[in-house]
Amino acid sequence: MNDMPARPKAGRVLRAICGVAALASASPVLAQPPAPSVDPVRILVKRLDLERYKATIKGLTQFGDRRQGTARNRAAIDWIEAQLKSYGCINTERLTYRFGEEPVHTIAPAKAAVVAGSDEPGLSVGGGRSRGFTRKTGVNTDPNAQPDARIRALDMPPADPGERQEVYCTKIGIGHPNEMYIISGHMDGIGFGEAANDDGSGTALVMELARVFSSPDVQTDRSIRFILWNNEETGLDGAKAYVEQRAALQGTESPVGSGRYPEPKWLGVMQHDMMMFDHGMPRVDGTVSPAQRPEADVNIEFQSNSKMAPQSQELAWALQVANERYASDYPASVGRHMTNTDSTPFMDLAPAVSLRENERGAQIGSGWDPQWHQPTDLYTTYSDKDFLLGLNAAQTTLAATARLAGATLRRGPVQPK
């Protein structure tokens, strides 16, 4: 198994943690201005609101599980695009691609696969090792498992092969419009529920950040793109299509002399996938606590055997530092086993991380979230403490992105909205 790259020297780690200007000037991942006396980042973070975050998730659940290739998926994309425009992120675009038949999903025991080429059993494809008690996990494919007749009827139509779309919009940087950070989540779901957590929670987070950064008094030095992927549940196909179509266009001015960059250079990708449920390890009988654990945290993961591992690790630390300084309730932890999420297609091309509720391979893959791909992934399943964990992830990414992209307020200090 390819393991973690050599540990960075202490000085570099310290500079990454402290955000020293010397490192920022050498690394575009950590390029960020020094904190001014009136901190615009704190003002922007205060513009996030728990009730607005919950309302956005609730709005997404009106389309049921938003399964790709269905009318409800297409209606959800239209709704997301309309919301982005209403926030002021009006330069919305859609990426179009084609997709065939869905893979067959089955329920399987929660036993991690061995990494290819590894002698170590029990390791997930991301490199994490399951520990403690586990539960069976997989995808519910039985519509009759959904007791709510309205939701069952909404989720019943199957996916059809054909054209797919995903929507995004961009905050254009005033100093370096040819460079950008990507903030993303996936809007499709499966399991005959409402996909409230997987991934309504991540989609709503991206939309809320688009709202805050699109305020007319906010400007950034570098560009920020807000993307809502489709086809994640079939194997990251929407993100793969984006990389295939757009990677070669990075940093190219079009038309020449226009100052426009349809695909700015990727400085970092921050994916958000399942943000709310951190209730701890399953008990001996397989049940999971109904309450959010007091030590819940935001998991920030990079992939240690990717080609951009050192840069991705720096990005992860920048997010952790932002969480420590600006998040209101829950801390963040950094791990090295990013896997099975839409940042994966980017990880050998740009710094890439994933933010989520638990470690994907070692915890979610072992049944720590009993709502994962199940009919119980409903808005009503979650408490305010669950939603608050998602909001803290939003605070984390907003603060880090604001510093990395050089966010300022045009008219000086303003009151939080």
DSSP assignment of 200-269: IIHHHHHHHHHHHHTSTTEE-SEEEEEEEES--TTTSHHHHHHHHHHGGGTT--SSTTS---SS-EEEEE
Question: In Å, how far are 219, 304, 306, 337 from 301, measured between CA atoms?
Answer: 28, 9, 12, 6
Q: Give the model confidence (pLDDT) of 70-113 as tens digits.
A: 999 999 999 999 999 999 999 999 999 999 998 877 554 444 43
Q: What is the mean pLDDT of residues 8-18?
A: 39
What pLDDT does 315 receive?
98
Determine the Cα–Cα distance for residues 35 and 272; give it in Å rounded to an integer: 26
**Band of pLDDT at residue 207, cut at 50, 70 and 90:** very high
pTM assigned to the model: 0.88
Q: What is the pLDDT of residue 123?
A: 56
Query: Given this model, what pLDDT does residue 117 score?
Result: 38
pLDDT band at 356 (very low <50, low <70, confident <90, very high): very high
Q: Which of 76-90, 131-145, 216-230 has the lowest mean pLDDT?
A: 131-145
Cis status of the peptide bond prior to 255, with omega within 30 of 0: yes
pLDDT at 137: 83
Alpha carbons 330 and 299: distance in angstroms, whole number: 11
Structurally, at CATH architecture level, domain 10-409 sits in 3-Layer(aba) Sandwich (3.40)
Domain boundaries, given as residue ranges, for the chain: 10-409
Q: What is the pLDDT of residues 303-349, one digit of tens each?
A: 999 999 999 999 999 999 999 999 999 999 999 999 999 999 999 99
Q: What's the CA gap between 335 and 324, in Å, rounded?
A: 16
Q: Average pLDDT of the chain?
A: 88
Cα–Cα distance measured from residue 303 to residue 299, given in angstroms and rounded to the nearest whole number: 13
Check pLDDT > 60 for residue 41: yes
| Cβ contacts of 61 within 8 Å, gap of 6 or more | 194, 195, 196, 200, 378, 379
The confidence band for 365, taking pLDDT boundaries of 50, 70 and 90, is: confident
How would you class 346 by CB atoms within 10 Å of its CB: exposed for 0-12, middle for 13-18, buried for 19 or more? buried
Residue 25 has pLDDT above 70, yes or no: no
Report pLDDT for 36: 54
Contacts of 170 (CB under 8 A, 6+ apart): 89, 91, 93, 180, 223, 224, 225, 226
Q: What is the mean pLDDT of residues 117-135?
A: 60
| CA proximity to 300, closest of 260, 262, 355, 241 | 355
pLDDT given at position 111: 45
Looking at residue 23, its pLDDT comes to 34
Stretch among 11-20, 24-33, 81-90, 141-150 having the lowest mean pLDDT: 11-20
Q: Read off the pLDDT of each residue in 129-156 and give the average, rounded to a whole number.
A: 89
What tens digit of pLDDT does each residue of 271-309 get?
999 999 999 999 988 899 999 999 999 999 999 999 999
